[in-house]
Amino acid sequence: MIAAAVAALHPSATAHARDDTYIALAWDARDASCPDAAYVEAEVARLLAGTPRSAAPIDARADVTRSDRGAFRVRVVTRGKSGETARTIDAESCRAAADAAAFVLALAIDPAAVARAAPVVPAPATGAPPSEPATSATAATPPSTSAPEAGATSEEPLADARERPGGDGPSFADSAARPGDRAAAPAAPLSPFAVGAALAGDVGTLPRAAIGARASFAWRPGIFYPEIAAAYFPDVTGSHGPEKGDFSLFAVDVTGCAAARVRELLMTPCIGPEIGVMRGASSDVRSPSSESVVWGGAVASAALSIPVGAAFAARLDLSMIVPIARPTFQIRPTGAIHEPAAIVGRAAIGAEAHF
């Protein structure tokens, strides 16, 4: 009754209990890339080929969740005469998580049959020749040579495959890394919003290299998204002979970006306009004066984000700005004291929060 209500509310949460199965499985996997409960039951049946079915299938539940980084975790709970046993396995694809759940369930019924089962090599999604799995179920050493009665669970805990690369049993992390599974698993979605703060450097806009601050905000509904960033570079002194002037810049970038993941890294090229205000003030002259002019240009940038925990990242930005106009600041009668470069370079390093 409860399983039927759950299945009605969530189509991906299904409970199977047929007479011809080894298990009564409640399978909850909400991600679109996940196999259904029938796949898990079929894999259990494959691993247990030749094992007689008991009158009462094992009562089991498997819940699959996905982290912000795109990794999958399956928690398998079995209930038998000896009580309730839970196993948790991490995997890089939902298919690998389903395979892990099937292995745990089959091992609880007949470890000897699991050891004899031949591995199945999935066809790659790209159409390339199938690759050999890193390890196979034939390498598994059962905890005992005799099959436990239905409802019992294996005494051997099933650790995270990445913690036992050289141990017994199949490596689910390796099976997830096969070309076919990796191509089928979608990339983890971006967090909808990102806010960053950084220390910035500028070369070419002001009379000499300047250090300032940068803040950014991005709305990321998909891999293509807008970002707005503001930077401020305080007074830098320039001179022409005995005459001196102090110059500062406040600029805002409004860019369009495209995100690309490489393993855990996020690379983001962006392009768009920059607009701001450049201010110059003369000093050490008889009649000090100041002037503010509009600053504008085209900016192309690239950012690299490295995750630090689930909601934060370290970020490095490199930018190139081509000014639309290059304002010239003059002190009469001395002449020009500063003119920005034809191409400006900037860099920023800081932190970013995702939510």
Segments forming the whole domain that contains residue 320:
193-354
- Do 39 and 96 sit in the same domain of this protein? yes
Given 184, 205, 232, the domain boundary residue is 184
The CATH number that applies at residue 246 is 2.40.160.20
Given 161, 184, 207, the domain boundary residue is 184
- Do 174 and 207 sit in the same domain of this protein? no
- Do 164 and 254 sit in the same domain of this protein? no
- Do 152 and 9 sit in the same domain of this protein? yes
How many domains is the chain partitioned into structurally?
Answer: 2
Containing 214, the helix (H) or strand (E) segment is strand 210-219
pTM tops 0.75: no
- Token pair, residue 238, equals 């320039």
- Do 8 and 156 sit in the same domain of this protein? yes
Closest CA relative to residue 147, chosen from 111, 101, 118 = 111
Containing 238, the helix (H) or strand (E) segment is strand 224-240
- Do 135 and 251 sit in the same domain of this protein? no
- Do 152 and 297 sit in the same domain of this protein? no
Containing 77, the helix (H) or strand (E) segment is strand 72-80
* Cα 340 from chain centroid (whole Å): 39
- Do 203 and 308 sit in the same domain of this protein? yes
- Do 159 and 230 sit in the same domain of this protein? no
Containing 180, the helix (H) or strand (E) segment is helix 179-184
- Do 81 and 116 sit in the same domain of this protein? yes
pLDDT by residue for the chain (355 residues), tens digit each?
A: 444 444 444 444 555 544 456 888 899 988 888 999 889 888 888 888 878 876 677 888 999 998 877 889 999 998 877 778 888 999 989 999 999 988 888 888 888 888 877 555 454 444 444 444 443 333 344 444 343 333 333 344 433 433 334 444 444 434 434 444 444 444 557 789 999 999 999 999 999 999 999 999 999 998 999 999 999 999 998 876 677 888 999 999 999 999 998 888 999 999 999 999 999 887 766 667 788 899 999 999 999 999 998 889 999 999 999 999 888 877 666 667 788 999 999 999 999 999 9
Given 134, 151, 184, the domain boundary residue is 184
Please tell me the predicted confidence (pLDDT) of residue 352: 96
- Do 174 and 201 sit in the same domain of this protein? no
- Do 143 and 280 sit in the same domain of this protein? no
| C-beta separation of 89 from 74 below 8 A | yes
